[in-house]
Structures are given as structure tokens and as C-alpha cells.
Structure 1
Amino acid sequence: MASIMKSLMDNDERYVKAFKLFLGRSTEHQSMTNFIHGTVSDILESLGDGKDKLNVIGVGSAGGEIDQEMFSQLRQKHPRITVDNQVIEPSGKQMENYKVLVSKTEDLDYIKFTWNHMTDLEFKQRVKEEKTIKKADFIHILQVGISQNQWHWTL
């Protein structure tokens, strides 16, 4: 039996409105910030050891606030490291919000952003077909409901 419910991805404005409503009624961003300053901070410290560049993939990065918090922690741990950041976000509005955030944030010249306006599954399919992605040092999937076909990264 086919579902009569429409996906939020069918309407970008509805998606962004629903996400903002969720954030307003949850402690998600505060919880993620606490997680980043605790567990993720230790992971980021070990990631950069002996490297001058990190390849990062952010799946479902939304408006980039959480990503920026992680990069801030990374910069504190490894001030000389550069980052190649693949952003995967299905919402055009959220991706635009992320780009605006980047344009307004100082000292991000150490990060090269590659914008992928697509779902996680579309990105995975593109990577399989093109075989162009570099090995990722860090993949974060912090703000995403993984598609029904859960998958693991074998890039």
C-alpha cells in the first residue's frame, strides 16, 4: 500500500519550516554543541596528528551551524591544518543558509567547500559512478535521518 504522506523533501519551504520548528522545540543544537566540545573534540584532536590536510564529508549539514562549531574545535586543536569539506545537503534553502554563514564567518580560508545539493543516497550513487572522491578522514552525519536504505561508507 502506497503512503499518502508526502515527504518534506517534496517542498523545500515546508522542509525548512519543519526543521526550524523542530529546533525551536528541542535541545538538538545544544546537545550537538555539548557533544562536539566533549567526545568529538577528542576525536578531532587525534584526526589531525601528522597531517597537513583533512578530507571531511558532512552529510545533512543543514545551515552549517554545527559544522562550523566542529571546524572551530578542529582549528583550535590543529591551527595549521587545511580542510577539503564536502557538504551534502538536500535542501537548497539550507545550503544557501550555509553559504551565507560561510560568507559572514571570518577566518575560514583554511577550508575548501564543495557544495553537493543532493541526498545522501544520490551522493553515494554519484561517488560509485564517478569514483572521484578521496578517502575521507572524517565523516559526520549529525543532522540527518538516514534514508530507509541505511548504508555505510566504503569510499
Structure 2
Amino acid sequence: MNRPVLCIQTVCLVILLGTESTLPEGAREGFQVYSGEASHFSVHYSKAAAMNTVMPAGYEGRYVQGFQFYLKHSEEHKAIREFVDKVLPGEFTRIGEGKSKMDVLGVGSGGALVKKTPSLQKIPFSWHTMTCGEYEKQVKDKREIKRFDFIHMIQMLYYVDDYPGTIKFFHNLLKENSKLLIVHEAAGSGWETLWKTHRKELCTKSVSDYLSAGDIKVHLERLGLKYDEHLIPNTMDITDCFTNGDEMGELLLDFMTDQDHFHQSLTPDLRASILDLLRNRCSTEKEGRILFDCSFSCLLVYS
């Protein structure tokens, strides 16, 4: 017996994340959800799917090169995609039960990927480029609020000023029996150890503060929101970062610390402290290789 097709209509907010004066126009990230039979759904994930040519400090030159190298080196997409393929089909089947279509909202989503992906061409996408504040004002100005069956926010909360306010606003856009997905760097990961230890020195450019999934959970609990957490273990080989003069190691250090040139931008004492931290507290050693803990947490928040 053929199963009914559940049509998924996706609204992708290309949110200009950050303050009005430092909007990272090119830093667009998210994934696009497209439809299949009600018993099976496919999700395609992309981070920074659209990189524009005009970007403020922190999203230019070596940062973009380092980011692209990091994505390839860390296999971040693969790790998140495996989670998506394992967990989300069941969620969509449950959420979509008895429905002929689903409305999905992607916050921080990129557009370039959709244009290049043949399997997404038949899915109706609606793109909106604005700040979170502008979208919130637009929603509040309308008499009828558009609500969604599923909302995803992947690695975008770094770029907003009001974490609980942003979470609460988008959670209020959920329909009954729906879910909000937040993907973020895991509590206790190497990222949290690095950026919280050296918050003062590192949170000066694209990110003005650092929060991990652990901090997001605190906000969710204070808001009285129920959630399920799924850990995505992941590591990245950073051995080359400890080889003097290694070009790829230097590029990776630039990205991990948000510096233009790690060895030129930071003082000798700070460099030594960061390298010691990366080796001894952020990583494990296996067969002579230094593996940085870049695990993620996926928080599925109930409506």
C-alpha cells in the first residue's frame, strides 16, 4: 500500500546574526529539510552554505579558508548528518501524523545550496533576509502569527545578544505537538574549554561572548521548557597545530581562536597557554595523534 506523501513547506530565514553594526552577512548556516514519503524523510545539512563576498571582520580571508579547512578536517557535516538521518525521520513521522503538509522554519539558513541541489528544486522555499530583531518585529506587527511544525537553529545562538529571549520567541512560533531543534557545541567539549578559559582574549571579534549547549540548557530550564538531549561525539586531528611552520596547522589555529594569524596576533605567553590547553585539556592522544574534542549536543525542545 502506498503511503501518503507529506509535503514539507520550508521558510528559511537568512538571519543577519549579530549587532546592527557588525552583521556577518556571509555567515549563513543551517540545513534544508525536504519531503519524502511519510515513513521516510531526508535532511540535507550545510553550514555556511552561502558565503557572500562582502563580510565584516571575522568573516574574511583566512577565516573563511580556515573555516572551510575545519569543515573538511573535522567531518562536522558527516557527524551531524548521521544524527539527522537517525533521529529526525522518526520525529517527522510523529509530528506529521494526520497532516497533509508540514511547515518548517530554518533560522540562519543559507541559500546557495538549494540552487545547486536538484533534489530540492521541487520543494517550495521562502527566503527572508533580516535580523532576528526585524523578524520579531514583523511577526508582532502581523495580526496572524505564522506557526511551524519544526524549527531548527544550528550553531546560530553565538550571534545574538539575548539568548533566552531569542529561544523564547522562536519557541512561541511552534504549533502544538511540534519541536524546536538546537544544535550547539557540547558542554565539556574542547571548544568550551578553550573559549571559556580564554574568553577575555578570544571573544573580541565575530563572537562577543561564548556559550555551550550546557549554557543553553540552563536557559531552557529557566524558561520551563522540556527537552531531550542527544550527544554527537566528534574529534578532529590537530597534531599539525603543534608543528612549527605547518601551514595547515597555522590555518586551523587561526580559525579555532578567531585570529588573522595566530602566531603573529597573540603574545608568546598567550600562545603557549592556548597550545598547552589544546593539547592537555581539550584533546586526547591516540597512536601519536592529538584529537581535539569537537562534540555537539542536539537539543530537541518540546512545544
TM range (shorter): 0.5 to 0.7
Change (3 A) 1:123 1:8: closer
1:54 matches 2:96: no
Equivalent of 1:122, from 119, 134, 151? 134
- TM-score, normalised by the number of residues in structure 2: 0.33
1:135 matches 2:150: no
Matches within 5 A, 1:8-27: 9=24, 12-13=52-53, 14=55, 15=59, 17=64, 19-27=67-75
Equivalent of 1:44, from 69, 83, 92? 92
Q: Is there any run of 5+ residues in structure 1 with no aligned partner, and where?
A: 1-5, 63-94
The structure with the greater share of residues assigned to helix is 1
Counterpart CA distance in 2 for 1:119 and 1:25 is: 31
Change (3 A) 1:132 1:98: farther
Change (3 A) 1:145 1:113: same
1:84-139 Cα shifts (integer Å, max 9, x gaps): xxxxxxxxxxx3x13423xx413642x32110112333322321223454221000
RMSD: 2.8
1:7-54 Cα shifts (integer Å, max 9, x gaps): 461664343826534423433211210110122222112111100011
Q: Is there any run of 5+ residues in structure 2 with no aligned partner, and where?
A: 1-20, 27-51, 174-303
Change (3 A) 1:26 1:55: same
Equivalent of 2:77, from 2, 7, 29? 29
The count of corresponding residues between Structure 1 and Structure 2 is 114
C-alpha contact 2:139 2:145 (8 A) present in aligned 1: yes
Change (3 A) 1:118 1:22: farther
Partner of 2:24: helix, strand, or coil? helix
Change (3 A) 1:35 1:120: farther
- TM-score, normalised by the number of residues in structure 1: 0.59
Change (3 A) 1:10 1:141: closer
C-alpha contact 1:56 1:138 (8 A) present in aligned 2: yes
C-alpha contact 2:114 2:120 (8 A) present in aligned 1: no
Counterpart CA distance in 1 for 2:70 and 2:143 is: 36
Point out the structure with max Rg over C-alpha: 2
Aligned to 1:113: 125
Identity %: 29
The structure with the greater share of residues assigned to strand is 2
User: Aligned AA for 2:107?
Assistant: V
Aligned to 1:73: none
